[in-house]
């Protein structure tokens, strides 16, 4: 796709985001993170040229490769994948803007310890497995609030900003909506949480209508 077509395509996606967000209310602001995990640095650069600034990867290695290749651009990098303990130090060194995928208290404690040792901090979200799917990581809805509070209290080097969830893997819109509503309810009950990261290419409008203020769009932006 050339840049003009890309821009027209991006505008259509932005229009859909705008339409969904004003349905919630006109003060509801939604941030878009372009998930570049299936894309090359040249494609990221194309989206940069037409105004996209926030990008996300789901593997620490890819985040390192692409953020270094694009070092000269003022990009904001997000990490959205499962974080293995042996990759924690590498992620800290890359200093992402936000890690969306803290999926257990144990991981949070390990990350906090390494952050302490490096005298630095990291912004992060607690990932909730709101549809209770075995294929997904994240804490259960039932434990989410407790674990959130435990991380807030015991991990001084982690700035917990809110929650992230992946919508139910289903054709049934009601189930998908329920998973977003459940996540939003937890988010809404937390003190000082400001980010509710939900919605991907196939379900971002529903996620926004349920209160998401950060969407993670991969295939729809990079096609």
Ligand X SMILES: *Cc1c(COP(=O)(O)O)cnc(C)c1O
**Binding site residues, ligand X, CB under 6 A:** 35, 37, 58, 80-81, 166, 200-202, 216-220
Longest Cα–Cα distance in the chain: 49
Q: How far is the CB of 100 from ligand X (least distance, A)?
A: 7
Residue nearest to ligand X (CB): 218
Nearer to ligand X, 21 or 78 (CB): 78
Query: Beta-carbon neighbour count of residue 42 at 10 Å?
Result: 9
Q: How far is the CB of 144 from ligand X (least distance, A)?
A: 17
Nearer to ligand X, 57 or 182 (CB): 57
Of the candidates 156, 214, 160, the one whose C-alpha atom is nearest the C-alpha of residue 184 is: 214
| CA distances, 169 to each of 10, 107, 176, 209 (Å) | 25, 25, 7, 18
Nearer to ligand X, 54 or 157 (CB): 54
Q: How far is the CB of 202 from ligand X (least distance, A)?
A: 6
Q: How far is the CB of 34 from ligand X (least distance, A)?
A: 9
Nearer to ligand X, 150 or 200 (CB): 200
Nearer to ligand X, 25 or 91 (CB): 91
| CA distances, 203 to each of 13, 29, 85, 87 (Å) | 12, 17, 30, 30
Q: How far is the CB of 78 from ligand X (least distance, A)?
A: 9
Q: How far is the CB of 204 from ligand X (least distance, A)?
A: 8
Nearer to ligand X, 88 or 217 (CB): 217
Per-residue b or e along 134-161, where b marks 16 or more CB atoms closer than 10 Å to that residue's CB: eebbbbebeebbebbeebbeebebbebb
Of the candidates 13, 19, 90, 96, the one whose C-alpha atom is nearest the C-alpha of residue 54 is: 96
Contact 176, 170 (CB under 8 A): yes
Q: What tokens appear for 175 in the block?
A: 């189930």
């Amino acid at each position: 796709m050339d840049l003009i077509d890309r821009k027209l395509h991006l505008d259509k996606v932005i229009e859909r985001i705008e339409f969904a967000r004003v349905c919630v209310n006109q003060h509801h602001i939604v941030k878009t993170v372009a998930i570049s995990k299936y894309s090359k640095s040249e494609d990221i650069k194309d989206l940069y040229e037409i105004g996209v600034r926030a990008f996300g990867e789901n593997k620490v290695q890819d985040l390192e490769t692409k953020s270094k290749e694009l070092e000269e651009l003022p990009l904001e990098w997000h990490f959205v994948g499962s974080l293995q303990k042996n990759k924690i130090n590498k992620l800290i060194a890359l200093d992402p803007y936000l890690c969306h995928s803290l999926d257990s208290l144990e991981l949070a404690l390990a990350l906090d310890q390494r952050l302490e040792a490096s005298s630095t901090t990291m912004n992060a979200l607690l990932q909730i497995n709101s549809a209770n799917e075995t294929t997904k990581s994240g804490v259960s809805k039932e434990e989410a609030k407790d674990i959130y509070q435990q991380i807030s209290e015991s991990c001084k080097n982690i700035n917990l900003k809110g929650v992230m969830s992946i919508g139910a893997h289903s054709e049934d819109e009601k189930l998908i909506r329920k998973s977003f509503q459940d996540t939003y309810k937890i988010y809404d009950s937390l003190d000082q949480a400001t980010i509710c990261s939900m919605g991907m290419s196939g379900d971002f409008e529903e996620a926004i209508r349920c209160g998401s203020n950060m969407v993670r769009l991969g295939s729809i932006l990079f096609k």
